[in-house]
Every structure is written in structure tokens, then in C-alpha cells.
Chains A and B, each alone.
Chain A
Amino acid sequence: DIQMTQSPSSLSASVGDRVTISCRASQSVSHYLNWYQQKPHKPPNLLIYAASSVQSGVPSRFSGSGSGTHFSLTISSLQPEDFGTYYCQQTYSAPQTFGQGTKLQIK
């Protein structure tokens, strides 16, 4: 199985901050890397697919980059509604695997 490792596991940031979450794959996943945001008691919500494509309806402050084994999700100017847990997912090879999650709190 391809292991997905996110860092940090948690972070606290202020409104307006630039936030970056990293995701590393144990082997290359090409661009088959997706990002989700999950809020408490809700299902995950797709933010970014194919490493850098922003899902329709997602605010433009969210962006994704990377390929191969190193990826990042960036929030350019943190907003209060951006709290939650963020997950990366590789769909390059089965079994599809998720990172362990990054919990983002607003200071």
C-alpha cells in the first residue's frame, strides 16, 4: 500500500494567515492526489483534485501543488470558516489511501 503522511498533524493559525499543509507519498502517485476538508459531523468535502485543480465552488484562496511524492495545500488568507480537518488522498494505485489528517484551528 502507498502510505500518505501529512504534516503537521495539527496547527493553529490566525485569520488572514497563509497556511500550508504538506502531504508526502511513500512512492510516486503522479498527479493522482486529492484534498478534502472535513468539518465536525459532516462528510469530507472535495477541495482539490489532480493535485492542483480547484473543485467548482471552492474559494480561490485554496490551491494545491506538487507531483510525484510531495504535495501541498495552501490557503492564501485564512478565513474563520476554514477550520476543520484536511485529508489528502492518493488514487494512483489500489488500495486508495488517505493521509492521517491535519486538524486546523483558528486562533
Chain B
Amino acid sequence: QVQLQETGPGLVKPSETLSLTCTVSGGSISGYFWNWVRQPPGKGLEWIGSIYDSGNTNYNPSLKSRVTISLDTSKKQLSLELRSVAAADTAIYYCARDWGYSGSYYPWGQGTLVTVSS
């Protein structure tokens, strides 16, 4: 079955760029929307943005000026860049597939905690 795994630095300094990769295994990357969602420790879920296999992206307006999501279909990876980070960007970052039913997400990656601190 399809599995997702997020990787990237666990610590980023304020004002720098957070960069994460999500590797897809066990299934095709084509034909789906792929999403990034974050969750500050102990808090709720926030959608960051999505990308389709065509490269079309859609971002949360609250983050749009700082976010870039990209897709490498040959490597079956999607990437997240979040620029000019601050402490408020400390969160668990998840990648998730929109599997085509009501925009719901299945599966999700296990998530990776990114802490913004000097």
C-alpha cells in the first residue's frame, strides 16, 4: 500500500528556510493531489498547501507569501519550502495524499517535528 515518509532538519533558525521532503512508496504519484499539513505541538491541524502531478499548486493564503511546494515525479517526492520562519512555525509537518474521495486525505505520513529556535 502507499506509504509516505517526511524527512528534513528537525531544527531551523529563525528567519531561515524550512525545507522538507516527502517520499512516496508503494504507489503512483500521478493522478493525485498531494498536501502538506502542520500541527503545532498540542494544537490543531492547519492546511499549508497542495500540488497536483501537473505541477499546479494551491496555497493557504495565510502562508502563501512564504511557501513553495514542488513535485519530482521521477523521484516520487514532494517538497515543502517555508521561508523566513519564526517560532510560530514550530510544528509537526505532515504530507498526505488526497485519494480522490471528497478531498479527504489517505494516507498520511508519520510527520516530522520541526523546531524553530536559535
Contact = CB atoms under 8 A, between A and B. Distances in A.
B10 to A, nearest CB: 15
Q: How extensive is the interface on chain B, given as a class?
A: 20 to 34
Interface in B14-63: 44-47, 58, 60-62
B49 to A, nearest CB: 8
Interface residues of A, number: 27
Interface of A is mostly: loop
A31 interface: yes
Interface of B is mostly: loop
A91 B103 contact: yes
Contacts of B103: 32, 34, 91, 96
Given A43-B109, A44-B108, A95-B62, A32 B45 contact: no
A90 to B, nearest CB: 9
Contacts of A49: 101-102, 104
B44 A50 contact: no
Given A43-B94, A44-B108, A91 B102 contact: yes
A104 interface: no
Given A44-B108, A94-B58, A53 B101 contact: yes
B37 to A, nearest CB: 8
A44 B102 contact: no
Interface of A: 1, 31-34, 36, 42-46, 49-51, 53, 55, 87, 89, 91, 94-101
